[in-house]
Chain A
């Protein structure tokens, strides 16, 4: 019940495409859902986060869609660029804790 399932494992898109990464969870106590971007040899960097009282959030080219009833959320990257090539992790946490449960990651490659 503590898992966050992430898919796909890897994704290749052309420049300008809109990659979509999906995550699903079971624990209804989760109330904070961040997305992180990680480049090889670097630590994860916070991209955008959402709470379950909101169905969509946009920050620049990154959009999170949230479906509370389905217990699913997804990351969309608009107008993707080769510089977006990285591994993306979804995560979830329960209020009052910094114990994030991370997904297994999606390796994105954007072709020039």
Chain B
């Protein structure tokens, strides 16, 4: 059974740029969620995707957007990067109706 995989693991961007982060769900999982974890903080919910549609969103601006593909993999896109966007971005997958959420290792984004 393959776990949740994310890419890239680390990346550095400058303010105003755009970034795309990718996630492959754990085998058999059809729901994906994205979380932002600032240094020394708990993860914060960005949004969730099910059947290729956004199905729940946290308190993040529209410049945070996502996609889910037919194979249940997902992308997180962030436009107009700000310094405060520097964080660990975590993808988590689950099977619809099952409460357990399984996280990937994350993508560490640094915005300069």
Contacts and interface: CB of A to CB of B under 8 A. Distances in A.
Interface of A: 6, 32, 34, 36, 41-46, 49, 89, 91, 93, 97-105
| Most chain B Cβ neighbours within 10 Å, of A43, A93, A103, A105 | A43
Given A42-B106, A97-B56, A98-B101, 19 more contacts: A6-B42, A32-B99, A36-B103, A43-B90, A43-B105, A46-B101, A89-B43, A97-B48, A98-B33, A98-B45, A98-B56, A98-B92, A99-B33, A99-B56, A100-B101, A101-B45, A102-B43, A102-B44, A104-B41
Contact of B94 (A43, A98, A102, A104): A98
20 contacts: A6-B42, A36-B103, A42-B105, A42-B106, A44-B103, A45-B103, A49-B99, A49-B100, A91-B42, A93-B99, A98-B45, A98-B48, A98-B56, A99-B56, A100-B43, A100-B45, A102-B44, A103-B42, A104-B41, A105-B41
Per CB-CB distance, the 9 closest pairs between chain A and chain B, nearest first, are A102-B42, A43-B103, A99-B45, A43-B105, A98-B33, A32-B99, A44-B103, A43-B106, A98-B48
Contacts of B94: 98
Contacts of A44: 43, 90, 103
Nearest to A93: B99
Contact of A99 (B4, B48, B104, B105): B48
Nearest to B44: A102
| Most chain A Cβ neighbours within 10 Å, of B4, B33, B100, B101 | B101
Interface residues of B, number: 24
A101 B100 CA distance: 14
Interface in B60-109: 90, 92, 94, 99-106
| Most chain B Cβ neighbours within 10 Å, of A6, A49, A97 | A97
Nearest to B58: A99
Contacts of A101: 45
B31 interface: yes
A89 B42 contact: yes
A104 B42 contact: yes
A32 B94 CA distance: 15
